[in-house]
């Protein structure tokens, strides 16, 4: 059976950046797209913070450009997903199984399976994704300059997003489903001092309303058993992310939240020959640019690993 030099699992910014660099190194590789070819950015409208696009670029177009750049240099794209992995440390070979019943043997793997933001089960939510509802204040905060917005969540991410938005927006409603924060004390202290942040404890959002663009949210207070309507142009859902690592459980070192652990500012994992890039190993930055950057690093690390193994 043919042994491949590298398989990239995942086709977001991390996967495609790794592919572009591997192709330029002339390392034979495949990229498996999984269920979402192009990754998370496919589900957004304009990306305004990716360098090089001064007018912004649609998420889908940005990913299409990355795809075209990779195949131009020889990347082979497979529109399937990996469903099982066996990392064989001693043999220095790794076996991957796909959902179309293929077995692949590879010397190295770049895991770039990303993450997915946790969401809310509210019917009207999908109507306003990219039209008022966002999962990232760094990405979309400026759209709502001088407007009223809401942030949903009571953890560190929600508080950080609220602090950032308070510098851009007129008013920030911080909506917390119970009566306490689940965040660092320092963030709570800061939040309590910011005048344009209004904290709404014991509220949950029950409906998003508007005509194409989001205009209002309906909130329900569990204690008072009352519904209240708030006028907001934007809502940021900040209740966490799931790294896509279920197929790697017990096969590779992860932290308690399922993020893959990489070593010493590289993309190396605890298994020689297995590398990780993008959101799947990053619980802090989670941006297209940081994912692309670590995809590039993974290709560097793969190249070194393959080259030095050749002379062992």
Ligand X SMILES: Cc1cc2nc3c(=O)[nH]c(=O)nc-3n(C[C@H](O)[C@H](O)[C@H](O)COP(=O)(O)OP(=O)(O)OC[C@H]3O[C@@H](n4cnc5c(N)ncnc54)[C@H](O)[C@@H]3O)c2cc1C
DSSP-derived pairing of the beta strands 274-276 and 103-111 = parallel
The least CB distance from residue 105 to ligand X, in Å, is 17
**Smallest distance, Å, CB 38 to ligand X?**
6
Catalytic residue status for 136: yes
* Beta carbons of 261 and 255 less than 8 angstroms apart: yes
238 binds ligand X (CB under 6 A): no
**CA end-to-end distance (rounded Å), the chain:** 23
Which one of 6, 35, 48, 140 is the catalytic residue?
Answer: 140
Q: Give the tokens for residue 47.
A: 């990306």
140 has catalytic annotation: yes
**Which residue in the list 6, 136, 169, 296 is annotated as catalytic?**
136
To the nearest 10 degrees (0 to 180), the angle between helices 185-193 and 156-166 is: 30
Using the minimum distance from each CB to ligand X, give the nearer residue, 191 or 302: 302
Report yes or no: 241 and 115 within 8 Å, Cβ to Cβ. Answer: yes
Which of 14, 143, 235, 298 contacts ligand X by CB under 6 A? 14
Cβ 74 vs Cβ 30: under 8 Å: no
Give 175-180 contacts, CB < 8 A, sequence gap 24+.
Answer: 175/150, 175/151, 175/200, 175/203, 175/204, 175/205, 175/219, 176/200, 176/201, 176/202, 176/203, 177/202, 177/203, 177/204, 177/222, 178/154, 178/202, 180/154
Catalytic residue, from 5, 6, 35, 139: name it. 139
Residue 10 lies near ligand X (rule: CB under 6 A): yes
Does residue 55 interact with ligand X by CB under 6 A?
no
Verify binding: residue 81, ligand X, rule CB under 6 A: yes
| Nearer Cβ to ligand X (4/280) | 280
Question: Catalytic site residue 169?
Answer: no
Which of 4, 6, 7, 12 is the binder for ligand X (CB under 6 A)?
A: 12
Task: Give contact residues for ligand X (rule: CB under 6 A).
Answer: 9-15, 32-37, 39-41, 43-44, 47, 49, 81-82, 112-115, 117, 135-136, 139, 244, 247, 278-280, 286-289, 291
Instruction: State the catalytic residues.
Output: 136, 139-140
């Amino acid at each position: 059976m043919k042994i491949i030099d590298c398989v990239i699992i995942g086709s977001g910014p991390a996967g495609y950046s790794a592919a572009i660099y591997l192709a330029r190194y002339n390392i034979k590789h495949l990229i498996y797209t999984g269920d979402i070819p192009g990754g998370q950015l496919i589900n957004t409208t304009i990306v305004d913070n990716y360098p090089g696009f001064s007018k912004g670029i649609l998420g889908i177009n940005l990913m299409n450009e990355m795809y075209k750049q990779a195949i131009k240099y020889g990347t082979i794209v497979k529109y399937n997903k990996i469903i099982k992995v066996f990392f064989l440390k001693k043999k220095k070979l790794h076996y991957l199984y796909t959902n179309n019943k293929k077995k692949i043997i590879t010397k190295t793997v770049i895991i770039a399976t990303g993450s997915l933001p946790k969401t809310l089960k509210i019917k009207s939510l999908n109507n306003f994704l990219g039209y008022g509802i966002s999962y990232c204040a760094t990405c979309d905060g400026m759209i709502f300059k001088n407007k009223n917005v809401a942030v949903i969540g009571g953890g560190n991410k929600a508080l950080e997003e609220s602090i950032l938005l308070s510098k851009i927006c007129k008013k920030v409603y911080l909506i917390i489903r119970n009566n306490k924060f689940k965040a660092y004390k320092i963030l709570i202290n800061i939040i309590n001092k910011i005048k344009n942040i209004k904290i709404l404890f014991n509220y949950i959002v029950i409906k998003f309303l508007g005509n194409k663009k989001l205009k209002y949210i309906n909130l329900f207070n569990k204690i008072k058993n009352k519904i209240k309507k708030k006028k907001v142009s934007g809502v940021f859902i900040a209740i966490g992310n799931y790294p896509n690592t279920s197929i790697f459980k017990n096969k590779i070192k992860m932290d308690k939240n399922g993020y893959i652990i990489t070593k010493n500012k590289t993309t190396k994992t605890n298994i020689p020959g297995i590398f990780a890039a993008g959101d799947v190993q990053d619980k802090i930055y989670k941006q297209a640019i940081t994912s692309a950057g670590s995809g590039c690093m993974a290709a560097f690390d793969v190249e070194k690993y393959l080259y030095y193994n050749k002379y062992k």
